[in-house]
């Protein structure tokens, strides 16, 4: 069930909200758990058992780790939780990848399993492991209530596509959280903003990508338009979903951490990854990079750590070589920045750093978008005039005029300009009073517009379901 669907917006969510706010405080987690299991069952009925078993496994391993601390042998249950946790993820997400590469290397003919990927498995696996690791480290208290723990794992606002919510972030709120009209209103506003980013911006940019794929008149300019629009589509698709998840969290009394912070204003790759999918970046930093030694020790050890983390970051996104290359691509630029580029760019105006980042990111999303490596190479050749296609043409100019305004809006929306504008108005005399009236009216009109889009059956994919 997509957040950007009529069934979620006008049937599921209102029913859950009514039940949630009429039951006593000690039954609210029960309502959330039942609603979350139904939400997952609606979209993935055969794998809901897998998610429940994963939750129970994480819960039992937490108890085992806590008990084993007394005898000083808690490494065994920790190792068990990691092995069992990753086993499900590896089996369902990566088995066919390993079979395909084995067949290619050894000229074998092992049949593929063609398993359907359980929705959200990458996210809830990492959440469970963050819990068991933090219990082992003494950074989180063991959760002794199974249903509260399952509520954490299955919480539907962030279940299928994140952000990756660590147990320590919501530990206190699972037991006691506050609700208010202010939080509810903030949550609704944030949800509508995310929904607008998803339905109006990401979906429209996705339509442009589909037009490019179906077009028989490719041009160099069209290749660039397609690459940039896909990059923006991914951003608004995923950050829009994160906004919706954070907004729903506020409505139910949870304070999820931010997952995006205007990544396209970054002046370096390292800054970009401090702003993009922050919950994933900090997860790999705290549970892989730092335990391996981080930037301590020799240069070679640091290079090894960077290579491992970015190999895993790419592989987390999907069982295809283009994702691995995409991750290692960023690793190469992180190394280049550390040893050369940062010093070089310090001597130049910041505009050059932004141009550099725009170029690096555009190329990265071409790699990310390639179902096969050959497709990515073909698209890069098209962008740099290495195919026998003209620079532009009538069809390219037609679609540039048709989608030009949306691309401009998307560029502006990917920067903090709009947020700064609203903040500036609120600082003026009577500005806050005016915005207190304008914002809910604007969000209401946006919801009506979005509903029209959805009733019309508009193009409505969600890219991060495949991760």
Active-site positions read: 317
Contact 30, 147 (CB under 8 A): yes
Which letter does DSSP use for residue 289 in this model? I
* Phi, psi of 50, rounded to the nearest 5 degrees: -60, -45
Q: How many Cα atoms are found within 13 Å in the side-chain-facing hemisphere of 276? A: 21
* Main-chain phi, psi angles of 441, to 5 degrees: -65, -45
Q: From CA 392, how far away is CA 397, in angstroms rounded?
A: 7
Residues ≥6 apart with Cβ < 8 Å to 339: none
Backbone angles phi, psi at 51, to 5 degrees: -65, -40
DSSP output for 296-326:
-S-HHHHHHHHHHHHHHHHHHH-SSHHHHHH
Cα 267 to Cα 74: distance, rounded to the nearest angstrom: 43
Q: Minimal CA–CA distance to 364: which of 386, 333, 409? A: 333
Would you say 58 and 128 are in contact if contact means Cβ atoms under 8 Å apart? yes
Task: Find the helix packing angle between 220-251 and 181-196, rounded to 10°.
Answer: 160
* Cα dihedral 4, 5, 10, 15 in deg (nearest 10): -90
CB 314 within 8 A of CB 327: yes
Alpha helices for 165-298 (secondary structure H): 167-175, 181-196, 203-214, 220-251, 269-275, 278-284
Element (H, E) at 327: helix 321-336
Query: Is 235 in contact with 264 (CB distance < 8 Å)?
Result: yes
- Identify the DSSP state of 429: T
Question: How far from each other are the two terminal CA atoms of the chain, in whole angstroms?
Answer: 16
């Amino acid at each position: 069930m997509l957040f950007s669907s009529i069934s979620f917006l006008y049937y599921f969510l209102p029913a859950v909200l009514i039940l949630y706010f009429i039951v006593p405080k000690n039954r609210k987690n029960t309502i959330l758990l039942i609603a979350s299991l139904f939400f997952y069952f609606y979209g993935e009925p055969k794998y809901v058992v897998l998610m429940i078993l994963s939750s129970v496994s994480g819960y039992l391993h937490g108890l085992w780790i806590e008990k084993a601390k007394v005898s000083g042998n808690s490494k065994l249950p920790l190792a068990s939780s990691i092995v069992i946790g990753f086993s499900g993820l590896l089996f369902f997400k990566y088995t066919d990848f390993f079979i395909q590469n084995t067949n290619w290397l050894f000229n074998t003919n092992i049949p593929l399993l063609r398993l359907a990927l359980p929705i959200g498995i990458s996210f809830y696996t990492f959440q469970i492991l963050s819990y068991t690791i933090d219990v082992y480290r003494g950074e989180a208290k063991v959760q002794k209530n199974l249903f509260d723990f399952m509520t954490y794992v299955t919480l539907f606002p962030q279940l299928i596509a994140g952000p990756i919510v660590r147990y320590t972030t919501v530990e206190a709120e699972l037991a006691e959280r506050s609700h208010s009209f202010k939080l509810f209103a903030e949550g609704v506003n944030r949800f509508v903003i995310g929904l607008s980013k998803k339905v109006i911006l990401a979906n429209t940019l996705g339509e442009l990508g589909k037009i490019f794929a179906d077009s028989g008149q490719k041009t160099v300019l069209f290749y660039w338009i397609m690459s940039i629009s896909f990059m923006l589509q991914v951003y608004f698709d995923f950050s829009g979903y994160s906004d919706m998840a954070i907004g729903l969290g506020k409505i139910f009394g949870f304070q999820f951490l931010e997952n995006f912070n205007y990544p396209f204003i970054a002046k370096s790759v390292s800054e970009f990854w401090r702003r993009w999918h922050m919950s994933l970046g900090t997860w790999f930093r705290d549970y892989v990079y730092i335990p391996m030694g981080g930037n301590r020790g020799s240069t070679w050890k640091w290079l090894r750590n960077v290579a491992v983390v970015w190999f895993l970051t790419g592989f987390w996104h999907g069982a295809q070589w283009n994702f691995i290359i995409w991750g290692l691509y960023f690793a190469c630029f992180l190394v280049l920045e550390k040893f050369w580029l940062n010093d070089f760019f310090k001597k130049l105006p910041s505009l050059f750093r932004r141009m550099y980042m725009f170029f690096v990111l555009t190329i990265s999303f071409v790699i990310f978008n390639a179902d096969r490596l050959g497709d990515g190479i073909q698209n890069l050749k098209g962008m740099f005039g290495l195919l026998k296609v003209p620079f532009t043409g009538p069809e390219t100019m037609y679609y540039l005029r048709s989608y030009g305004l949306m691309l401009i809006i998307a560029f502006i929306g990917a920067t903090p300009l709009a947020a700064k504008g609203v903040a500036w108005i609120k600082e003026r005399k009577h500005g806050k009073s005016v915005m207190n009236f304008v914002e809910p009216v604007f969000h209401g009109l946006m919801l009506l517009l979005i509903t029209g889009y959805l009733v019309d059956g508009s193009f409505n994919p969600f890219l991060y379901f495949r991760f």
